[in-house]
Structure 1
Amino acid sequence: MTQAPARPRRWLLHGGRPTSRFLIRRGFGVRVHHGERVPPRGGVILAANHIGFADGPLLAIFSPRPVHALTKQEMFAGPLGAFLRTCGQVPLDRFHVDRGAVRTCVDVIERGGAVGVFPEGRRGPGDLSRFHRGAAYLALVSGAPVVPVAILGTREPGGSSRDLPRRGTTVHLHYGEPLRLQQQAWPRRREQVEEVSLLLRRRMLDNLAAATATTGLELPGPLPPDDLDDDPYTGLVPLEPGAP
């Protein structure tokens, strides 16, 4: 008998967002561009680049809809883990096939919720040069639209992966047009997931270019090698077909 997915909690994430926004904006600004591109109802996947520590919380709190974001399971140790669970975030084992996390995300989507995914896997330059297949796989399993999100301003050039935005600065969340796909019945072939991953990355790169043009901000550049999380190389797709 298949175990039912662990449904993420909702009350703090859904009910606490106005208070969280107020408190965050006392330190720095947050601007949302084209939030109307996020479908107002029904399951949806938000796929964002990943440059800094604050990306996940800001995506969950400031997106037009509450977001249950896939979060590396290492973050769920100690008191922070209890807080993340209360906020409805979804732990992910990045080093093994995590069917439990997939089932939880599909359950959220089927119940009309929003799931957040960072296809790069770890914080870095945010240029999508690394790209996991998870977002594309979820889209094919669920048939949910995928909305690209470009996050800019959560890390300064030369900053640490754990830095927060400087006081008085502005962070930008720029939403692209949804990518709508047909739900694919099992088995989903690797080639299908690869093709959709490449298409999604191109959409995300286009949205990132639009975001930098709109905001005047650039990506912060790479992190030092000693400030990078371990991240499995499996599940990545090349920037273009045939690229190394």
Structure 2
Amino acid sequence: MTALSAPVVDPWLYPLLLPLHRILMQGYFGTLHVSGQEHLPPQGPVVWAVKHYSRWDPLVIAQLSPKPLYFMTNANQFVGFQGWLIQRLGAFPVDLNRPQLSSLRSAVTLLHQGQPLVIFPEGGIVRDRPLRSLKPGAARLVLQAEATAPQPGTIPIVPIGLKYDPAPQVGAQIWIQIGKPLSTADLPPNLEVKMAAHQLTQQLQAALLDCLMVL
């Protein structure tokens, strides 16, 4: 992958595995309860900012979209067969300790192509508290993408909370709450990028907490 390229979902492998994915999720977990699905844009670029509770989260979240999702994924997951597979299903690596410019460029390119991008803004799995302080990466990404987009304020960030009851295990019920999209158009005008990213991150933190509190 070059610095300016974007991940590509394998057009043969994805439809082949899609029925197996449905069977796995329906057979392993209990009922999936989803509220707020009307807040997910049916088309166009969007960032899904998701609470990260379990390694199952990407498979769970994928059930919400009729088309492939793209995932910014911890670089340490790209090993062996797992790495080979997830890279062909829309995941691309990001080093959480030293994010590379190529990862940002890949994400920006995807958004410019009108693709849905999934980010776990806590930066890792968190179970010991409702929500860890969010990293500013999601906000910075959207600001960067919109800075080079034809029209500003057109890449929403959708907060998504999820909960496994009682835990991510066989038969668990899954509850998902999707919040109203956030937009850079709602930020005060003429903010410098660092302050805009800070304010957007704070808005996302509050919105994600609101989603989690109703689960």
CA displacement at 1:14 relative to structure 2: 6.2
CA distance in 2, matches of 1:189, 1:182: 14
Is the contact between residue 6 and residue 110 of structure 2 (CA under 8 Å) also seen in structure 1?
no
CA distance in 1, matches of 2:56, 2:21: 13
Structure 1 length normalisation: TM-score? 0.74
CA distance in 2, matches of 1:174, 1:55: 14
Matches within 5 A, 1:79-158: 79-125=81-127, 127-143=130-146, 144-153=155-164, 156=167
Structure 2 residue 24 is matched with structure 1 residue 23: yes
SS at 1:71's partner residue?
Answer: strand
Structure 2 length normalisation: TM-score? 0.83
Q: Per-residue displacement from partner, 1:66-88 (whole Å, max 9, x unpaired)? A: 32111101000111100111111
Structure 2 residue 203 is matched with structure 1 residue 202: no
Is the contact between residue 32 and residue 172 of structure 1 (CA under 8 Å) also seen in structure 2?
yes
Identity of aligned residues (%): 26
The residue aligned with 1:217 is none
Is the contact between residue 136 and residue 196 of structure 1 (CA under 8 Å) also seen in structure 2?
yes
SS at 1:45's partner residue?
Answer: strand
Structure 1: runs of 5+ lacking an equivalent: 157-164, 213-244
CA distance change for structure 1 residues 193 and 78 in 2, over 3 Å: closer, same or farther? Answer: same
The residue aligned with 2:150 is none
Structure 2: runs of 5+ lacking an equivalent: 147-154
CA distance in 1, matches of 2:107, 2:184: 17
The residue aligned with 1:161 is none
Is the contact between residue 60 and residue 68 of structure 1 (CA under 8 Å) also seen in structure 2?
no
- Paired residues in the alignment total 200
CA RMSD of superposed structures (Å): 2.5
CA displacement at 1:140 relative to structure 2: 1.4
CA distance in 1, matches of 2:198, 2:166: 30
The residue aligned with 1:166 is 169
